[in-house]
Amino acid sequence: MKSQIKIGSIFFSIFKYVMLIGAAVMSLLPVAVCVFTAFKSTEEYNTTSVLDVPKEFHFENFAVAFKQANMLQGFINTAIVLVVVLTCSVLISAMLAYVLNRFRFRGSGLIQNLFMFASLIPGIATQVTVYQIMFSLGLINHLYGYIIVLMGTDIISIYIFLQFFENLPVSLDESAIMDGCTYFGVFFKILFPLLKPAIVTSVVLKGVNVYNEYYMSNLYLQSKELRTISTALYAFTGPYGNQYNYICAGVLMTIVPIFILFLIFQRQIYGGMAAGAVKG
Amino acid sequence: MKKPASAVPAKKRSFMEFMKRREGQRGLVIVLFMAIPLLLLAVFTYIPFLKMVQFSFFDMKYIGDRTFVGLQNYIDVFKRDDIFGALFVSVYYMGGAVVQLALALFFASLMVFKVKGDAFFKGAMFFPYLICGIAVGFIFKFFYARGFVLDSLLQLLGMEMEDIPMWLQDQRINNISLAATSVWRYTGQNMILFLGAMMSVDSDLYEAASLDGANKWHQFRYIILPSIKSIVVLNLILSISGSLSAFEPPYVITNGTMGTGTYFVIMNRLAHENQKVGLACAMAIVLLAIIILCTVAQKLFFKYVFDDGTADESKAAVRRRKMEEKAAKKAAKSGAMAQSSVSGKGGQK
């Protein structure tokens, strides 16, 4: 009986690792081929099979892609958008979560439900009319317009903060108020510093979303010098048709920052995924 | 109590004043802290939503005259082949979503047991989720292009070039190819979610079970599955609405040509290229209606079929437990309670 179980568990182990290695290969292969291709010279790209590892590493594709797609401008714009959006949306969401979690007042349930329902509406669907509103507010083709739209669609952060507040004891607030602290003081001096893990989570998640956002950027930032990194990348569709060594170089350049971020913040990202998914 | 509190001279009147000030402050905080998010929510979600309902009854462009056409736009949504066909294209993505959830569940259950190098496996599978949709599009345009990555791989495995279909041009399979990119992108993320839920189960339970001679299947069936039911349901709902709103793969890889136009690709084209705003709005409303219907239907389905079916408790016990949970939740509206009741569920068995 016991040896039977043992043989079974050995088989299970083998099965497990074969499956996992297979999955890892499937996940990494498309990206890996892209890495190979990005480092090939045009000549090598034209003559060798795409699966071949480059003989020597060429960096000129990156230079060409970087210049042609104007990626520097894209990175700068994206960086500006990221800093402003993340700062504002952390503050806004934390404040909202504080009010919704700590105060019961008429309509607080309704407001929470309004945010819940908003998360059901797929973002792209409403853009038809948001575009019209943006147009009449004169927000199209301005970086600040794009920033404002991105702040408006921030339901994940609100959930993360709401959940975090639920685990912060109310006695913290009460004792601070006993000591003569105002509600503002309670929020900014006592609670906000304690929110740090939630802030990291929401910044990382929101940051990834903003960095990767394409649709609205394409819609609201039409002039060339306002392109963000994803719209800059999309510009490869036209001129480079089949020159995938340039395209792959461009793709890799957009992936690298995210990859570094991922290596540093792995734990927070995984944690944030779970927190964002369990919506109350 | 370090500072002498202002309420210490406890005269009745000054105390009332103090309370008043608190009340006033409370109102001020509520109004100030909620003003911006509510304004944003109104301007970018609910006003557009209402306008969408309004516009859907008009034949209009962004600028210029509009004519009231009644339900004509809605009739068009179901009559026009390009739009109605797009709904069928979503079926491929739904199939993809089911495959993706199944794979995620499978790998998460493998990872829940001790795995060497689990950080690597997790990272490798999860990372595609972080890549931007446009980059994913390019990666797979390259991957599927005739004679490139996938074809070379299949040739390595001994397939002849003539037997390999055109992944993106052949109308019988191109939607499957595109849906597969979504599976590639989201499986790891789903897996991380499931794994998180599974890990929240007390690990002693696994040990106890395996000491009792339970095999891996039993462990999965009686320990893991019950612990992740709710998150699986949630993800099914999310992935259905996600597959209805698939946009980036067809947009970048095929630009919606050759029968790969998903609902959003068509809607995007109608709204921003053809400027048929009214029709696009009607499409958005129809989509939203479908998503809400799916959400409700799934919730009901799982409530009556799945949820009670797999639990080891009798239905009456489930009902009783739910009542208790509800009562507990009402008593203390704090998340700590909700969490303890989740872990309590595992402990009861």
Tell me which residue has tokens 């008043």: B20
On whether both A7 and A93 belong to a single domain, the answer is no
In a domain, A62, yes or no: no
On whether both A146 and A233 belong to a single domain, the answer is yes
Between the CA of residue A148 and those of A134, A225, B1, B39, what are the distances in Å? Answer: 10, 19, 43, 11
Say which CATH number the domain at A168 has. 1.10.3720.10
On whether both A20 and A83 belong to a single domain, the answer is no
In a domain, A56, yes or no: no
Average model confidence (pLDDT) for chain B? 76
Q: Locate A167 and state its tokens.
A: 């685990």
Query: In angstroms, what separates the C-alpha of B348 from chain A's closest C-alpha?
Result: 22
Q: Which of B191, B196, B150, B153 is nearest to B174 (CA)?
A: B150
User: What is the ipTM, given to two decimal places?
Assistant: 0.85
What is the model's pLDDT at position B343?
38
A vs B, Cβ pairs < 8 A, gives: 266
Q: Contacts of residue A20 in chain B, CB cutoff 8 Å? A: 107, 110-111, 115, 121
On whether both A130 and A168 belong to a single domain, the answer is yes
Q: Contacts of residue B49 in chain A, CB cutoff 8 Å? A: 121, 126, 129
What is the model's pLDDT at position A50?
72
Q: A121–B121: do the CB atoms touch at under 8 Å?
A: no
How many helices (H) and strands (E) are present in chain B, helices listed first? 17, 2
Q: Which of A246, A138, A153, A99 is nearest to B25 (CA)?
A: A99
With vertex at residue B147, the alpha carbon angle to CA B143 and CA B150, rounded to the nearest 5 degrees, is 35
On whether both A127 and A98 belong to a single domain, the answer is yes
First to last CA, chain B: 47
Q: Which residues sit opposite B67 in a β-bridge?
A: B59
With vertex at residue B99, the alpha carbon angle to CA B243 and CA B295, rounded to the nearest 5 degrees, is 45
On whether both A82 and A212 belong to a single domain, the answer is yes
In a domain, A52, yes or no: no
Residues 6+ apart with CB under 8 A from A181: A189, A190
On whether both A254 and A116 belong to a single domain, the answer is yes
On whether both A130 and A240 belong to a single domain, the answer is yes
Q: Which residues sit opposite B60 in a β-bridge?
A: B66
What is the model's pLDDT at position A10?
83
Q: A31–B149: do the CB atoms touch at under 8 Å?
A: no
Q: Which of residues 42-61 of A touch B (CB under 8 A)?
A: 49-51
On whether both A180 and A146 belong to a single domain, the answer is yes
Cβ atoms within 10 Å of A45's Cβ, excluding its own: 22
pLDDT tens across the length of chain B (349 residues):
344 444 444 445 565 566 566 777 788 888 888 888 888 888 888 898 898 888 888 888 777 777 788 888 888 888 887 788 888 888 888 888 889 989 988 888 888 777 788 888 888 989 998 888 888 888 888 888 877 778 777 777 877 777 777 777 777 788 888 888 889 988 888 888 888 877 777 777 777 777 777 777 777 777 777 777 777 777 777 777 778 878 888 888 887 777 777 888 888 888 888 888 888 888 888 888 888 887 787 777 766 765 544 444 455 555 666 666 666 666 655 444 344 333 333 333 3
Q: Which of A12, A121, A139 to probe the B interface (max B CBs under 10 A)?
A: A121
In a domain, A63, yes or no: no
Q: How many domains does chain A have?
A: 2
List of chain A residues with pLDDT < 50? 278-280
Residue B60 phi, psi (nearest 5): -155, 160
Q: Locate B201 and state its tokens.
A: 């189960």
Q: A27–B295: do the CB atoms touch at under 8 Å?
A: no
Tell me which residue has tokens 């090598």: A44
CA dist B202 and B342 (Å) reads 11
On whether both A163 and A220 belong to a single domain, the answer is yes
Q: A120–B277: do the CB atoms touch at under 8 Å?
A: no
CA dist A35 and A50 (Å) reads 10
Q: Out of 3.40.50.360, 1.10.3720.10, 3.40.50.300, 3.40.50.720, which CATH number does the structure's domain B72-130+173-309 have?
A: 1.10.3720.10
Structure-derived torsion over alpha carbons of residues B121, B125, B131, B132, reported in degrees to the nearest 10: -160
**The domain containing residue A72 runs over which residues?**
68-277
What is the model's pLDDT at position A4?
65
Q: Chain centroid to CA A189: how far?
A: 29
Q: Contacts of residue A273 in chain B, CB cutoff 8 Å? A: 189, 192-193, 196
Cβ atoms within 10 Å of A239's Cβ, excluding its own: 10
Query: In angstroms, what separates the C-alpha of A158 from chain B's closest C-alpha?
Result: 10
Q: Locate A16 and state its tokens.
A: 């497990």
With vertex at residue A217, the alpha carbon angle to CA B262 and CA A113, rounded to the nearest 5 degrees, is 75
Q: B48–A16: do the CB atoms touch at under 8 Å?
A: no
Query: In angstroms, what separates the C-alpha of B309 from chain A's closest C-alpha?
Result: 22
What is the model's pLDDT at position B333?
53
Query: In angstroms, what separates the C-alpha of A200 from chain B's closest C-alpha?
Result: 16
On whether both A8 and A86 belong to a single domain, the answer is no
Q: Nearest Cβ partner of A24 from B45, B46, B125? A: B125
Task: Write the single-letter amino acid at B88.
Answer: F
In a domain, A92, yes or no: yes
CA dist A114 and B121 (Å) reads 39
Enumerate the H helices of chain A as residue ranges: 2-38, 42-47, 60-68, 71-102, 108-118, 123-137, 143-152, 155-166, 170-178, 183-185, 192-194, 196-212, 215-220, 229-234, 244-277
pLDDT tens digits, residue range B49-82? 898 888 888 888 777 777 788 888 888 888 887 7
On whether both A192 and A262 belong to a single domain, the answer is yes
Is the backbone of residue B258 left (phi > 0), alpha (psi -120 to 50) or beta?
left
Between the CA of residue B229 and those of A6, A76, B203, B311, B321, what are the distances in Å? Answer: 30, 44, 18, 10, 16
Q: Which of B22, B132, B247, B254 to probe the A interface (max A CBs under 10 A)?
A: B132
Q: Contacts of residue B138 in chain A, CB cutoff 8 Å? A: 233, 236, 247-248, 250-251
Q: Is the C-alpha dihedral spanning A39, A44, A48, A49 positive or negative?
A: positive
Q: Contacts of residue A121 in chain B, CB cutoff 8 Å? A: 45, 49, 288
Q: Are B137 and B252 in contact (CB under 8 A)?
A: yes
Contact of A11 with chain B, judged by CB distance below 8 Å, is answered with: no
Q: B46–A233: do the CB atoms touch at under 8 Å?
A: no
- Spell out the domain ranges in chain B: 72-130+173-309
Q: Contacts of residue B196 in chain A, CB cutoff 8 Å? A: 270-271, 273-274
- Judge residue B68's burial from the number of C-beta atoms within 10 Å of its C-beta, 0-12 exposed, 13-18 middle, 19 or more buried: exposed
Tell me which residue has tokens 């797929």: A122
Q: Locate A262 and state its tokens.
A: 């991922």
Q: Nearest Cβ partner of A180 from B6, B156, B247? A: B6
In a domain, A193, yes or no: yes
DSSP codes, B310-323: HSSS-HHHHHHHHH
Query: In angstroms, what separates the C-alpha of A39 from chain B's closest C-alpha?
Result: 15
Q: A30–B149: do the CB atoms touch at under 8 Å?
A: yes
What is the model's pLDDT at position B335?
45
Contact of A121 with chain B, judged by CB distance below 8 Å, is answered with: yes
